[in-house]
Amino acid sequence: MEKDSVRDTILESVAECLEAQLRAVRRLRGKAGEKPVKQRGMSHMYMAQDILKRAEGPLHINDLLDRIERVHGVKLDRESVGSALVKRVARQDRFVRTAKNTFGLIERDR
Per-residue burial over 59-69, b = 16 or more CB atoms within 10 Å of its CB, e = otherwise: bebeebbebbe
Which of 19-28, 73-82, 94-103 has the weakest average pLDDT? 19-28
> Positive or negative, the Cα torsion across 23, 28, 30, 31?
positive
pLDDT reported for residue 19: 79
pLDDT reported for residue 40: 56
What is the mean pLDDT of the segment spanning 75-79?
93
What is the mean pLDDT of the segment spanning 23-47?
68
Q: How many CA atoms lie within 13 A of 63 on its CB side?
A: 12
Please tell me the pTM assigned to this model: 0.61
Residue spans per domain, the chain: 1-35, 38-110
What is the mean pLDDT of the segment spanning 66-85?
93
Helix axes 78-90 and 61-72, enclosed angle (nearest 10): 110
pLDDT reported for residue 110: 56
Q: Which fold has domain 38-110?
A: Arc Repressor Mutant, subunit A (1.10.10)
Exposed / middle / buried, residue 70 (Cβ in 10 Å: 0-12, 13-18, 19+)? middle
